[in-house]
């Protein structure tokens, strides 16, 4: 029997792979047409390297982060790699995920991306999906919501964040070379972040 965390990582990998061409096309508009291919290559390595039977969520996320660092290749490698490794520190030794645990892990992941990318909200990056998702899930859990409620709120906010990236110009990453010309296009990294949260939500719903 494979562990829950392995099952969840596998579903994230499946969704990323299904959307690989879509993500690469988004990156073709405002970047270098590799985001989907980068992420799919990374998750193909993740499902091969993370042990399927270890229930320790932290250990699995740490291995995921290290694997993404060395297989993704683009900016999303060190960014998502750092995010998973920071989340791993919060969940080290945990075998189940609570609503608060999810919020704490997402808090650490977002802080890791901000540090790695020297970036903030509003620069047309994955943070424009993840920061609203963090705020919405934090509010849901503060109001007594379950893990499933936290993920519902996170996904809805991430989706809005992705739409918002179409309305702003990029000031970080490759897309920033386009400046104002990046307006009208949706950010690939924000899109893969929303896809990731949806995969976690769907896995937890069962």
Partner 1 sequence: MVGIVIVSHSRKIAEGVKDLAMQVASASGRIVAAGGMADGEIGTDAVMISEAIRSADGGDGVVVLADLGSGIMSAETAMELLEDDKIDVRLADAPVVEGAVAAAVEAACGSPIENVIRAAEEARSARKLD
**Per-residue contact string for residues 38-77; x = within reach of Mg ion by CB under 5 A:** ------------------------------------x---
- Decide: 172 and 137 in contact? Cβ < 8 Å: no
Among Mg ion, partner 1, ligand ATP, none, what does residue 71 contact (CB within 5–8 Å per kind)?
Answer: partner 1
Q: Choose one: 49-57, 96-104, 152-160, 186-194; the region binding ligand ATP (CB under 6 A).
A: 186-194
Distance between CA atoms of residues 79 and 65, nearest Å: 9
The single residue listed with the structure tokens 């988004």 is 26
* DSSP annotation string for 129-178: HHHHHHHHHHHHHHTT--HHHHHHHHHHHHHHHHHHHTTS---SSGGGGT
Instruction: Name which of residues 30 to 59 contact ligand ATP (CB under 6 A).
Output: 31-32, 34-35, 38
> Hey, what are 14's tokens?
């499946």
Q: How far is the CB of 145 from partner 1 (least distance, A)?
A: 34
Kindly tell me which residue out of 52, 78, 122, 145 binds partner 1, with binding defined by CB under 8 A: 78
User: How many residues make contact with ligand ATP (CB under 6 A)?
Assistant: 23
Distance between CA atoms of residues 162 and 168, nearest Å: 11
- Decide: 186 and 158 in contact? Cβ < 8 Å: no
Question: Which residues make up the interface to partner 1 (CB under 8 A)?
Answer: 38, 66, 69-75, 77-79, 81-82, 116-117, 173-174
Question: Which residues make up the interface to Mg ion (CB under 5 A)?
Answer: 27, 31-32, 34-35, 74
């Amino acid at each position: 029997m494979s562990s829950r965390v392995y099952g969840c990582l596998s579903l994230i990998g499946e969704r990323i792979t299904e959307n690989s061409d879509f993500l690469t096309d988004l990156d073709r508009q405002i970047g270098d047409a590799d985001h989907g291919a980068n992420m799919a290559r990374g998750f193909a390595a993740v499902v091969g390297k993370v042990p399927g039977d270890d229930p320790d969520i932290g250990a699995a996320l740490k291995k995921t982060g290290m694997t993404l660092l060395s297989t993704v290749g683009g900016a999303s490698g060190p960014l998502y790699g750092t995010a998973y490794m920071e989340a791993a520190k919060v969940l080290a030794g945990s075998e189940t995920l609570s609503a608060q645990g999810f919020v704490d892990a997402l808090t650490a992941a977002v802080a890791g991306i901000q540090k790695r990318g020297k970036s903030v909200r509003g620069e047309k990056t994955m943070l424009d999906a993840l920061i609203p998702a963090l705020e919405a899930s934090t509010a849901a859990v503060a109001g007594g919501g379950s893990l499933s409620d936290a993920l519902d709120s996170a996904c809805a906010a991430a989706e809005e964040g992705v739409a918002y990236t179409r309305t702003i110009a990029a000031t970080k990453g490759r897309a920033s070379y386009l400046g104002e010309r990046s307006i009208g296009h949706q950010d690939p990294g924000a899109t893969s972040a929303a896809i990731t949260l949806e995969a976690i939500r769907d896995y937890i719903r069962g």
